[in-house]
A and B are shown apart, each in its own frame.
Chain A
Amino acid sequence: MIEIDIRLPLAHFTLEVRCTLSANVTAIVGPSGAGKTSLIESIAGLRRARGRIAIDDAVLVDTARGIDLPPERRSIGYVPQDAALFPHLIVSENIRFGGTDRDRFDSLVAALELAPILSRTPASLSGGERQRVALARALMTRPRLLLLDEPLASIDQPLRERILLYLRRVRDLGIPMIYVTHQPFEALALSSWCVVLRNGAIAADGPSRSVLADPDVAGSVDNVFEVSQPAHDRELGITRATTSDGLTLVLPYDQVAEARFPIVVRIRADDIVVFGEKPASISSRNVFEGTVASLRATEGIVDLIVTTPAALTVRITRAAAQDLGLRAGSRVWLALRSRAFRIVG
C-alpha cells in the first residue's frame, strides 16, 4: 500500500496530492503539465515535496518528523520518459548499474528479450529497446515500487503492444507499479486503479474502468475493452472474445492470433457506425442493438453514450444525428468493423 500526502510548489500551481494506492498497478492520467511527472519524481526522491510518502511500513518522507530519504535509499525503480540510459555505457553495463546479481540479470535479460542487444550502445537502440533496457536496469535494484513515466510515448503502435506485454510480465512479478500517461486507453490497458490529475490536484480517482468511462474525466472518446476467452477461426479470419462486461467481440484473427489473452483492444468512437434500424446485410462483424443513454452536442459533433447494455461511446456528425432523429432513449444498432479494433496490448 502506498500512502501519498504531499505538497510541492511548481511554476504555475502547487501540486497537492493525497491518496492511498493499494492496486498492483496504478495509472496517473492527465494532460501535459498537470503535474504527473513532478508527482512521480517526488515519490522517487528527485523532488523535495513536503508532506508524507510511505510504502507499506517504510516511511520515505515525513517532513513533520524530519524524514526525507535520499533517492538511493528509497528502493524505488524509476524509468523516465526517454529511458535516460547512460550514453557512455553499453546495454549490459547500463543494466548492471542497478545491481550485480547474476541470476537476476540473466532472468531479466530473458524476460525482456535483451540478449541480442547486450553489447550495443544506447544511441544505437530503438525507442522500444531503450524502454526495455531502462526497465531491466530499474528492476535490477529489486525495487519495492516501480515508477514509469509515459513508457509508451516514444514508441510506435506495433511496438507498443510488445512493451505492454513486457510491462504485464513485470506486473506479474508482483512489483507494484505507478505509471504516468496522458492517453486514457494506455491506462486501461494495464492498471486497475487510476488517478486523474489536473492542474496539480486529483480530479478523479477510482477503478480505472469506471473513472475513464467518463469522457469529461478522460477527455477521450475511445472505447476500450479487456477481452478474454478467445475462440479462433483461422479459416474465416476471425476471433471471438468476450469483454469483461459480457459483450462478444469479433476481432481480426491475424492480429490477435499470437496474443496472450486477456488483451486490451480499443475502437475509436468515430469508427462506430450508427443505424436507425437493424441492418439487413452488412460486412461489419460486430453489430449490437442498444439504447441511446445520452447525447452531448459540441460544434457539429454529437457524442452518444449507447448502452448495449455495455456502454459504448459513439461520435457522429450533427447531420447524422438529425437525420436519424436521435434523442435519449432512441433504439439504435451499432456496427463495429473488426479491423477498426486496435490492440492496445
Chain B
Amino acid sequence: MISAQGLTKYFGRVRAVEDVTFEAEKGEILGFLGPNAAGKTTTMRILTGYFPPNSGEAKVAGYDILSQSMEVRRRIGYLPEHLPLYPDFPVWAYLDFVAAAKGIPHGDRKKRKEEVLSACNLKKVEKKLIGQLSRGFRQRVGLAQAIINNPEVLILDEPTVGLDPQQIIEIRNLIKEMQGKCTVILSTHILPEAKATCQRVIIINQGRIIAVDTPENLTARVKQMDVVLLEVEGPEEEVTDVLEKLDGVTGVQRSPVTGSLVAYRIETKKGLDLRKEIAPLIVGKGWSLLELRPQEVTLEDVFIKLVEERGEE
C-alpha cells in the first residue's frame, strides 16, 4: 500500500531525511518513532505530496507521489501535527468544505459527513464553532477531516500531542478502529503510544531509519538480560550480600525508599527468572518482602539502545 525507496530531502544544506526506505501493508498500522526533528514530519509530508523529495521515489496506494500526485491525494487522509482548522467555521460547515475539496460527489457528502461525525463522536458539537471546542474535540475534527474520503492510507502526525490522558485513550481507540480498514502511518515521539497502537514500528533518528520491526521483536533484540525489582525491609548490606551470591545474578543496585525499606534492582542472565528463589530466601531470613516483580524491557530502552549503537557507529 505504501512503498518508499531511498527518500532523501534537504533543506538548504540541512539533511532532513536520508535514504528512507520502507513498506507498509494494506490495513497495517505503522508507527514512525523518533525524537523531535528526526525526520518524521518530513517523510510524511513527502508521502502526502506536500513537497517532493530531492531523490528517491514512493508509491502510495499504487500511485507515484510525484507523477500521480492527484491520484495519491484522492486516496489519503492527513492530519498534521499542529491542528490547522478554521476557528470561525462550525464543525458541519468545515466537514462540508473538506468533503467538497476532496472531491466526494455532492450526493454522498451528507452521508459521509454523518458517518464521520458519528465515528468521531462529534454529533453533539457539529453546530459549534471549531474555535469554541476543547483540544480533544478539535483533534477529533482533525481526524474526521482526514477520514471523510474513506482514505486507503491515513497519515497522522503526532495525533495525540497536547491531549490529556483521557483524550489520548479516545484518539488511540479511534485509530485502532481504522486497523484493517486502511493503512495507517502514525508518527510519535511517545514510545508507549507506538507500542499500544502500532503493529510495526520504524525507528528514525537524524533523518535515517535505524530499525523496522514489531514492538515485540524490537524489544527482544535489545533484551540481553532480565531485571527483577524488589523492595525489602531488612539490613541493607546483608540483603545485598545474599542477593549477589545467588546463581545467575550479574549485578545488584540499591536505593533507599523510606526508613529501613530499600529498593533493589537485580540484573540476571537472559531468560533466568529468579523470583521463585528470591522470595523464600528473603522471607526465610525474617526480612519483610514488600514487592517482587520483573522489569519489562520497554520500547524506550530499545530506542535508547539503538540510538546509542548508531552514535557509536
Decide whether A and B assemble into one complex: no
Question: Which of B's residues lie within 8 Å of A, judged by CB?
Answer: none
